[in-house]
Amino acid sequence: MIDVRDCRFVYPGGQGNQPLVALERVNLVIAPQEFFCLLGPSGCGKTTLLKLIAGLIPPTAGEIRIDGVPIQGPGPDRAMVFQNFALLPWADVLTNIAFGLELRGIPKAQRIAIARDLVQTMGLQGFERHYPRQLSGGMQQRVGLARALAVNPKILLMDEPFSALDTQTRRLLQEDMLDVQERSRKTVVFVTHSMDEAVRLGDRVALMTPRPGQIQEIIEVNLPRPRSPDVEKDPLFVELKEYLWQQLRVMHSPTQHPA
């Protein structure tokens, strides 16, 4: 369980700039094996909150606990998947997938065996010795996801991982992600700007306010799992997507941000 308790985060000012309050009084409880989406306007602190859960930065105030233990920094129970793939350009697919295992001291034969299994899982057969520059964006992101899964974390933290991809590739990777979560039953915290993506993937969606980011509302997505490829035709999908859009539309209204 991830327990975010009254968290605040302030980016310090510099060179004459004022400090920036990114998050204010954020409280969340994310259940084990839940697919939890963070949705909100640009700059509302979604990625900052993800970094706090990852232990990459400490909160200015408040704390985050995982299974009752306060986060003190990055840990083997968590792995992050980034928007920009973050692959090693000089390493081939197998080496990229196995990189986290190498850092953890896993013997070469074992880590390559794990990487080869994930090549099959992620549909990367035939590209084991290709380099990132030789792969499409979708394939690069599959490698990034495989690298995160290789270390077998309890929690996957995903920062808009499909936003840079074309619509068709994004949809395919969403379906891959649903399959991965269905098989592995990992806890997933997924940052997105897309109402469609949040409803298609999530068990719950946390709607965040404009900066300083707070949790305005948490919406239950009571669509059956495993999710159908045609889930967007479900009346509840349409209703939830429209509801989220209306809330975001109000946030973007000029009357909400007086000069």
pLDDT tens-digit map of 171-205? 988 998 898 888 888 999 999 999 999 999 999 99
- Classify residue 119 by its DSSP letter: H
3.30.360.10, 3.40.50.150, 3.40.50.300, 1.10.3080.10: which CATH number matches 2-77+154-256? 3.40.50.300
Domain ranges of the chain: 2-77+154-256, 86-152
- Classify residue 13 by its DSSP letter: P
Over 80: is that where the pLDDT of 14 sits? Answer: no
E strands within 57-172? 61-66, 69-70, 78-81, 155-159
Predicted pLDDT at 83? 81
Beta bridge partners of 20: 11
Of 25, 9, 19, the C-alpha closest to 60 is 9
Contact 83, 160 (CB under 8 A): yes
In tens, the pLDDT along 35-57 reads: 999 999 988 999 999 999 999 99
Burial class (CB in 10 A: 0-12, 13-18, 19+), 19: exposed
E strands within 31-100? 35-39, 61-66, 69-70, 78-81
Over 60: is that where the pLDDT of 255 sits? Answer: no
